[in-house]
Amino acid sequence: MLDKTDRKLLALLQQDCTLSLNELAEAVNLTSTPCWKRIKKLEEEGVILGKVALLDAEKLGLTLTAFVRIKTQQHSSQWYQNFVEQIESFPEVLSFYRMAGEYDYLMQVQVADMKSYDNFYKKLVSAVPGLLDVTSNFAMERIKSTTHLPL
């Protein structure tokens, strides 16, 4: 169970994972060793999954965001395993979900432009047999996007 100090540490790390151990310890009123032990425990328990740099997609030329909804009649475990492996191999796919409701799967795809998306789409439908409906919606403006979980 996370206590108030753990939650504060996690909030600080979500904001800036480059904060030094001393800065983190001071912010949560601990000395360095107990602060370090808490962080290590959160990592070992899988609460902290990793530490990354967040990049600006537009500055990297990846200006097109697509949300792709997929329907299929294939639901065998072998088909599912192959489908997941194929999707995981596409670096353009930022997130991928199995859904309840009208569509079976939803993914967020980030590419440079419509031609790049068309190339991705062609790779997707040729790599995964049994897709009935692949519907894409394209974002016109990113209004909110965060990696911060509500603590």
Q: Which strand ranges, in their side-by-side order, compose the sheet holding 64-72? A: 93-98, 105-111, 64-72, 131-138
- Per 3-state DSSP, what percentage of the chain is helix, strand, and coil (rounded to 5)? 40, 20, 40
Q: What is the largest CA-CA distance in the chain?
A: 57
Confidence of residue 137 (pLDDT cuts 50, 70, 90): very high
What angle, 0 to 180 degrees and rounded to 10, lies between the N-to-C axes of helices 32-44 and 4-15?
Answer: 80
Q: Any residues with CB less than 8 A from the CB of 62 and at least 6 apart, and which?
A: 110, 111, 112
pLDDT tens-place string over residues 58-115: 999 999 999 999 999 998 999 999 999 999 999 999 999 999 999 999 999 999 999 9
| For residues 30-56, average pLDDT | 97
pLDDT score at 13:
97
pTM: 0.89
Q: Which of 83, 96, 64, 94 is nearest to 132 (CA)?
A: 83
pLDDT score at 56:
96
pLDDT score at 132:
94
Contacts of range 71-75, beta carbons closer than 8 Å, 24 or more positions apart: 71/102, 71/103, 71/104, 71/131, 71/132, 71/133, 72/104, 72/105, 72/130, 72/131, 72/132, 73/130, 73/132, 74/129, 74/130
pLDDT score at 54:
94
User: pLDDT above 90 covers what percent of the chain?
Assistant: 99
pLDDT score at 106:
98
pLDDT score at 22:
97
pLDDT tens-place string over residues 14-32: 999 999 999 999 999 999 9
pLDDT tens-place string over residues 96-105: 999 999 999 9
